[in-house]
Structure 1
Amino acid sequence: MSPSATSDRGSRLTVWDGLDQSGPFITPSLLACDFGRMRDVLDRIARIGVQAVHLDVMDGRFVPNLTYGPPVIARWREATHLVFDAHLMIVEPERWIDPFADAGCDTLVVHLEAVEQPWPVLERIKARGLRAGIAVNPPTLLRLDPVPSWLALLDSALVMSVMPGFGGQVFDPSVLSKVAALKQARPGLRVAIDGGIGPDTLAAAVATGVDQLVIGSAFFRADDQLEVAWSDLNQRLRQVNPSPLLGTRRRTDPL
């Protein structure tokens, strides 16, 4: 375990918790970048103002694709102080909480479809000092009436606007009803959206109350012009989010 994996986590989580205080924010998805140049990529995006990145962890079982695991993430952690927001698209995520925490992840988001009972999994994540989240796929029925007890444990919820497994897919606007339902069931909850988000689709997400936009292809396809792409995406976000309070969520908000 890298010393910085846990020793600097407190400062990273302070950054993470404050990212949405002035409105919705963007986290680049590393799924869309060149894994072979990851240290260079992490350095470049940190220099242009990125503070947190989204890690897409796939096991080839829960989704039909395979990416990386704790040993690779641990090496990346040695190279950067960026917040690691890890989206676990894996079966039996409860078996992997400690390895991913030790590797330097700061948040762990597990799929509702991958756990029989969310409560004990979320409790274990939080016991490791990480932020805990639940992700839900487009076809999954989200039952929030009555409000499930595990909702109170969430630091965030991730609404998938494509089926997970591959980048570059087309945004499904029908999932925005889940965003609204989560906001109603748990006022103040940070809600993220992932899949097909870019300049032409982020407005609809923000209008529904999304706080965090995970963007991959629309950012990293710029490659040698990442600074321009980052500036353009954030400018577009400011254009569609005129109110600085839209999407704001404070950890002291009542449940």
Structure 2
Amino acid sequence: MQNRKITIAPSIMCADLCNLEKSVREIEREGLDTLHIDIIDGYFSPSMPLGIDTVKQLRKITDMNFDVHIMSNNNEYFIQEMLQIGVQQISFHLETSTHIDRFIQLIKKNNTKVGVALNPATPLSVLDYVLPQVDAVLLMLINPGFATDKNEKQVSYAVKKVEDLYRLIKENGFEKRIEVDGRVSLDTISSLVRAGADTLVAGSTSLFISNKSLAENKKIVEKAILEGLYEEVK
């Protein structure tokens, strides 16, 4: 496990939404190559931080990998829109999908990586037939879209769920990435990495902590990642 590549994916909704290009340039300067973009319909989750046209404009100004997380009751519409924009990975929620296999194939035939997302309490058993087909599984560790509620904590079983998913992947001989999203904080990163997480969606409790610069926060995040990788091989 110690040779895993850990990806820090800054959540653009936690950046300066009034100065998005400036925020993207700052992220690029720190050598980060993946941008996590939440697409929310206002029904699946109460917030709607970014619209489709904003993502189109972002695509024009950066070559960063766009890791899109769709939180919607109408997944196909947003999948089609994101494919037209040209993103690198699309994750959609199994809880709101009827035609899961069709969505997976739609994304894959456009040479885009596909992930399936699970709410905190959704059991891993829903992955029984789809896990072989996907590139990644995105585990929500808080209820989707409620990140602005600073009182909401990461679910108590977050690390166990990552461990269970990692075990499931390895027991089947798969190579799938585990993405974690929701209060992926300086306090929890090392334990999530140790459990098997590969992609860390970094937001207001890690990369965008307001009293430090992005560069300072990145160094602390990287230190926590190394601690997690070190602990797993001791």
Output the TM-score relative to the length of structure 1: 0.81
- For the aligned residue pairs, the C-alpha RMSD in angstroms reads 2.2
Contact 1:73 1:104 in 2 (8 A): no
After superposition, the C-alpha distances for 1:207-253 in whole angstroms (9 at most, x for unaligned) are 211111111002113376111111221122112212899xxxxxxxx
Q: Indicate the residue corresponding to 1:222 in structure 2.
A: 210
Residue type matched to 2:159 in 1? L
Output the TM-score relative to the length of structure 2: 0.88
Aligned-residue sequence identity (percent) comes to 26
Q: Indicate the residue corresponding to 1:29 in structure 2.
A: 11
- Asked if 1:58 corresponds to 2:11, the answer is no
Q: Indicate the residue corresponding to 1:162 in structure 2.
A: 142
Return closer, same or farther for 1:118/1:184 CA change in 2, 3 Å cut-off: farther
Residue type matched to 2:157 in 1? S
Alignment partner of 1:69 out of 42, 46, 51 = 51
Q: Indicate the residue corresponding to 1:48 in structure 2.
A: 30
After superposition, the C-alpha distances for 1:2-37 in whole angstroms (9 at most, x for unaligned) are xxxxxxxxxxxxxxxxxx964323211112112111
After superposition, the C-alpha distances for 1:91-131 in whole angstroms (9 at most, x for unaligned) are 12112222111123211100011102321111111111110
Alignment partner of 1:88 out of 70, 73, 76 = 70
Q: Indicate the residue corresponding to 2:128 in structure 1.
A: 148
Return closer, same or farther for 1:21/1:118 CA change in 2, 3 Å cut-off: farther
For residues 65 and 234 of structure 1, the distance between their equivalents in structure 2, rounded to whole angstroms, comes to: 29
SS at match of 1:57: strand
Return closer, same or farther for 1:84/1:29 CA change in 2, 3 Å cut-off: same
- Asked if 1:136 corresponds to 2:118, the answer is yes
Contact 1:192 1:214 in 2 (8 A): yes
Residue type matched to 1:221 in 2? I
Q: Indicate the residue corresponding to 1:201 in structure 2.
A: 188
For residues 150 and 79 of structure 1, the distance between their equivalents in structure 2, rounded to whole angstroms, comes to: 34
Residue type matched to 2:210 in 1? A
For residues 124 and 4 of structure 2, the distance between their equivalents in structure 1, rounded to whole angstroms, comes to: 28
Structure 1 runs not aligned, ≥5 long: 1-19, 246-255
After superposition, the C-alpha distances for 1:156-189 in whole angstroms (9 at most, x for unaligned) are 0011110011325422231333323322333321
Alignment partner of 1:240 out of 222, 228, 232 = 228
Residue type matched to 1:198 in 2? S
Residue type matched to 1:33 in 2? A
Contact 1:71 1:103 in 2 (8 A): no
Alignment partner of 2:92 out of 110, 122, 135 = 110
Deviation at residue 140 of structure 1 after TM alignment: 1.6
After superposition, the C-alpha distances for 1:41-88 in whole angstroms (9 at most, x for unaligned) are 001110111110110111101111112232210100111111110000
Structure 2 runs not aligned, ≥5 long: none
After superposition, the C-alpha distances for 1:181-209 in whole angstroms (9 at most, x for unaligned) are 32233332110111111111112211211
| Worse-matched range after superposition: 232-241 or 178-187 | 178-187
